[in-house]
Structure formats: structure tokens, C-alpha cells
Amino acid sequence: MLRFPHFLILLLVFGVQGCMTVDSAPPPAPGGAAIRLNDADAAAIGRKIWQNECGGTVEGLTSWNAGEDFPSLGIGHFIWYVPGRPGPFQESFPQLLAYMGEKGTAVPSWLASAKGCPWTSRSEFLKEQQSPRMKELRQFLANTVSVQTGFIVRRLELSLPEMQKATSAATDKERLRQNFYLMASSRNGLYALIDYVNFKGEGIKPEERYQGEGWGLRDVLL
């Protein structure tokens, strides 16, 4: 297939170079989480995401972009909506907090009990940048980079079944799975998957195609 060389380029650039050896084990059997993320890889990948998304600064961990109705928090710019004002994007910050609860991560009490974003406007959010609560939030996010990375990896892996659903042939579904886990078996390869899907999407939405051709992660891996 014409798209297969694109996967080879990804594999050569990200999967087999860098500071981690590619796992030679076969791809995991279908079903269940299978990406193995150790502490060193979580920290290294998290630092890259932090640098790309927030400029690597602590201040960048709490942002509210002009023209938006919600703040973006953490290394992955996780969205947190104001109560009663949902938006078009998936709200991810509450999911992150739930994931942290699963992992036993200590969360500031005010944050754990919050029923939505406590700042109701961008101007209020910016005015509070040096408040004790905002400083505590930034420090909390800076201290939990590896946990945030684990959450991002979990969301990435959960996208694989959705990409397979958008794929018709059984042989293509299997090749998609094998290539996904081959890339994910190295630190650089896993980061490449995260980075690519962040900018190009999974490739399962109609708007991610043009004249029958797609550019999402699914299309690259096939």
C-alpha cells in the first residue's frame, strides 16, 4: 500500500533511534492495555510534551487562551469547563484527576472537591495568576508530569480500538494493531504516536480525509 512507507519513515526516525531499545517481543494479544511505561520513559516523554505544549515553563501549565471559554491545564493542555458551560471539545482535566485518584496521587483538597473550573472567565483566571491557589495548582502540575504522561498514554491506547473500527479489512485491522504496538515499544516511537495524534488526529473522522485520502494516525500506520 502507498501509505506503508510513511510508517517505515516513522519507525526509522523515531522507533529505532534514541536512548531506548525497541522491545523485540511480538505485539500483544487483542484486548487490554499493553503499553509498558516505566518511570524513566514517562518522565522523558513528559518533559518533551511539556516543552512542546507549554514551552517547558511552570507558568505555561495554567493557560486560558484568548477567544476560548475554558482554561487548558497541565502538559497536555487538559480542558476544564466552567460549570454549566460545556463546549465542543472533550473535557479531559476531570478525567486526569480521576486517573490520578486511581494511581493514588495526592491531589490538593480544593481541587479534588471542585465541581468544575472555579474561575468563570479568562480575565478572572489571569487576575488570579499569582494567587496561592493558582501557585499551588501550577506546582502540583509540575510535580506530576509522569502521571500526566501515563494518562496521555492511556488515552492514546484507548484510541486504537476506535481506529480499528474505522478499518474494514481484518488484515488491515491486524496490521494497524501490530504497527501501533511496534511504534509504542520504544520511547521515541511512543512519543511520536502521541505527538502525531495530537496534531493530525486518529484519522477516524470524515473531516480528517480529503478526496478519499487521510492523514491521521490510522492512515500512517496502515
pLDDT in tens, 159-201: 999 999 989 999 999 999 999 999 999 999 999 999 988 877 8
Task: Give the global pTM.
Answer: 0.84
Residue type, 207: E
pLDDT digits (tens, 9 = 90+) for 36-85: 899 999 999 999 999 999 999 999 999 999 999 999 999 999 999 999 99
What is the DSSP-derived secondary structure letter of residue 60?
G
Mean pLDDT on 13-27: 43
What pLDDT does residue 197 have?
87
Nearest-angstrom CA–CA distance, 52 and 39: 20
Q: Does 1 score more than 90 pLDDT?
A: no
Q: What is the mean pLDDT of the chain?
A: 86
Q: Is the pLDDT of residue 28 over 70?
A: no
pLDDT of residue 200: 79
pLDDT digits (tens, 9 = 90+) for 92-146: 999 999 999 999 999 999 999 999 999 999 999 999 999 999 999 999 999 999 9
Q: Count other C-beta atoms under 10 Å from residue 107's C-beta.
A: 15
Q: What's 88's DSSP letter?
A: S
* pLDDT above 90 coverage of the chain, percent: 70
Taking each helix axis from N to C end, the angle separating 93-102 and 145-165, rounded to the nearest 10 degrees, works out to: 110
